[in-house]
Amino acid sequence: MKKFYLIPAFLFVIATIGFAETWTSYTMENCQLPSNRILTVCIEPTGIKWFGTDAGLARFDGTDWLVFTKTSETQTLADNVINDITFEITNNGPEIWIGTENGLSILAVDAYTFATPYRNDNRPILSNHVRAVEVDSNHVKWIATDNGVSIFDGHSWADLTKENSMLVNNDIVCIGIDNDGDSLWRYIGTSHSGISRVSFYGNELVSALADTNQNPLDAITSASPYTADWTYMWNDSITAIQVIHPQKHWVGTTYGVFEHDSTETKELWTYYLSVQGLADNSVTSLAEGSDGSIWVGTKGGASNILNMQISSFTEADGLVNNAVNDVAVDTDGSIWFATEAGVSHYSNINAIGTPRTLPAKSRLVSNYPNPFNASTVILYYLGSRNRVQLSIYDLSGKKITLLIDEMQSPDYYRIFWDGKDQFGRTVPAGIYFARLNIIDSQISDCVKMLLIK
């Protein structure tokens, strides 16, 4: 029997924080932000912060600031009004994709060099008004515009629109990505028509689609509507989507937050409203906390939802401004808020008064370059002190070499592999796997690497 949950107001508790709270605010008056109107925030795995404003891009490493703007002399930043920033490890190293009011820009994080802006006069992008950019596990870019979704796999472009794939609407606001399972789901949120859920079967099909001009339905399933008529989500004005795993996702709307814990459209919905403790019903952003909670940015403050308990924060608590445009979770579990009047940083202090500064999770991120010739760098980070083993295997499953076998402290690690086996011999070209085993946590993670000659 299908279940449908509406949680009444009396079951909600306004939670209190067990640790002391610290708030820090950044504005043009105390740092080098190009504007106090902060539209988006992105955190690198190394902890570097990027802020998109209505007057340019800012980078903050915890001590120093760098500012990037488009001027008459420097045109590589597509526009100074920055709507979204997404981080990616590419074959050439870490990069950020920057969605603006007038196209896309790509910034090489290690060298701070911009690529030529992507606009519809030099790329087949559906619109220059880019509202959001997401990168999936296949390194495919999903670009939300006011005229549909553009898809780019690094070589070829494809489009998703109401006309060719049955999207509920072409006015796209946000995209949520599920990278688990054989069929990779994408949740495409629109401004006033709900969500379209589509399944995507690999980046090679983007190239096939672009080369043969096939209908996108050959590579992408017909969109399933998530609207008021098809779900128990009664608001169709979507503002944010956070996918937790294949079965669970959160949806922000202009009237509350909806939690969906099922693959069935009319099963297991829960709503959260201001009468139950949400800071405001007009939701702008969502982010998953390091403890599994959900952080909610609204036009009237910020909220945290954990086990159906809501904690809310406003200017009275330390937030620099109640109009929150974006929320991001740092590697140490602390929270950054992009607001209409600056940036706020919120963290808890533990019982002995020491701020948490460690990565929240342990994870093997990627390697770069990939494909590589002769050598590559493997990136991972640890959330707690553990014994770590990092090994290289060939396609048959044979261990080629052991790079790391030691206790390591919480930190970010870049490990160099010179393409040699345990005896110092250069291995032949082919497919190899880097496997990270974190012994005490029973975590095992793997990435595929291609060595070319």
Average pLDDT rounded to a whole number, residues 413-427: 90
Q: Position of tokens 């969605």?
A: 99
For the segment 8-54, what is each residue's pLDDT rounded down to a tens digit? 333 333 333 334 568 999 999 999 999 999 999 999 988 899 999 99
Q: Answer whether residue 108 shows pLDDT above 80.
A: yes
Query: Which pLDDT score is estimated for 9?
Result: 33
Query: Which pLDDT score is estimated for 16?
Result: 35
Q: Among 49-63, 139-153, 348-362, which is the least confidently predicted range?
A: 348-362
Q: Among 170-179, 206-215, 241-250, which is the least confidently predicted range?
A: 206-215
Is residue 421 packed enough to be buried (19+ CB in 10 Å), middle (13-18) or exposed (0-12)? middle
For the segment 297-329, what is each residue's pLDDT rounded down to a tens digit? 999 999 999 878 899 999 999 999 999 999 999
Q: Answer whether residue 435 shows pLDDT above 60.
A: yes
Percent of residues in the chain assigned helix, strand, coil, to nearest 5: 5, 50, 45
Written as six digits, the tokens of 134 are: 């997401």
Dmax (CA) of the chain: 68
101: amino acid identity, one letter: E
pLDDT band at 80 (very low <50, low <70, confident <90, very high): very high
Average pLDDT rounded to a whole number, residues 278-282: 96
For residues 295 and 198, the model is more confident at 295
Written as six digits, the tokens of 371 are: 């494909």
Written as six digits, the tokens of 220 are: 């992408």
For the chain, list the domains and their CATH numbers: 9-349 (2.130.10.10), 363-451 (2.60.40.4070)
Query: Which pLDDT score is estimated for 213?
Result: 44
Q: What DSSP state is assigned to residue 106? A: E
Average pLDDT rounded to a whole number, residues 176-183: 65
Query: Which pLDDT score is estimated for 356?
Result: 38
194: amino acid identity, one letter: G
Q: Answer whether residue 345 shows pLDDT above 90.
A: yes
Q: Answer whether residue 234 shows pLDDT above 80.
A: no
Query: Which pLDDT score is estimated for 206?
Result: 46
Q: Answer whether residue 358 shows pLDDT above 60.
A: no
Q: What DSSP state is assigned to residue 372? A: B
Q: Answer whether residue 394 shows pLDDT above 90.
A: yes
Distance CA 271, CA 296 (A): 13
Query: Which pLDDT score is estimated for 20?
Result: 53
Under DSSP, is residue 288 helix (H, G, I), strand (E, B) or coil? strand
Distance CA 241, CA 4 (A): 20
